[in-house]
Amino acid sequence: MTMVTERRVLRPARPDDREGIEQLLIARGLPTAGAPAHLGAFMVAEEGSALVGCAGIERYGEVGLFRSLAVSEESAGRGLGTALVARSLELAGQLGLRSLFLLTTTAADYFPRFGFQPIPRGALPTSLAQSEELRGACPATATAMRLLLPAR
């Protein structure tokens, strides 16, 4: 059997990653609305020349919305999602965020390992109301979750 090990790179997204990110989000059934406007706080994962993962933060003052965590079907289950969350949490710290929130319909059982806890949707900060995800891109039935970040 021939094993091909592609070089894996995690890096901040560039403007020309927009299309690749949108394609990945669509392929993994996640909303694209609002993502381009927040590309500056997105991370991407590449294997070889393929964009195989992404995750992003929408920043609203000291509050962030963690969104668009996606790993391609072919690359799933090998720690990429974990690596993208870890890098995004580092970035959240660098941005001076005090808490991160997210909405999910598919992965409420994935996020507690990183410290996210479910909260009532009504407990989301009002500053997040301007996010496309809260304005309808994400279904009302989605689970809301929160992670408090250490003070720096």
What whole-number distance in Å separates Cα of residue 94 and Cα of residue 31?
26
Q: Which two tokens stand for residue 104?
A: 């999910």
21 lines the binding site for ligand COA (CB under 6 A): no
Based on CB atoms, which residue is closest to ligand COA, 16 or 109? 109
Minimum distance, C-beta of residue 49 to ligand COA, in the bound complex (Å): 19
Comparison of 69 and 144: residue with beta carbon closer to ligand COA: 69
CA angle 76, 82, 87 (to 5 degrees): 125
Are 8 and 80 in contact by the 8 Å Cβ rule? The answer is yes
Binding mask 49-88 for ligand COA (x = CB under 6 A): --------------------xxx----xxxxxxx------
> How far apart (Å, rounded) are the C-alpha atoms in residues 146 and 53?
22
Nearest to 75 by CA among 28, 109, 39, 33: 28
Closer to ligand COA by CB, 77 or 122: give it: 77
How many residues at the interface with ligand COA, by CB under 6 A? 18
* Residues of this chain that bind ligand COA (CB under 6 A): 28, 30, 69-71, 76-82, 102, 104, 106-107, 109-110
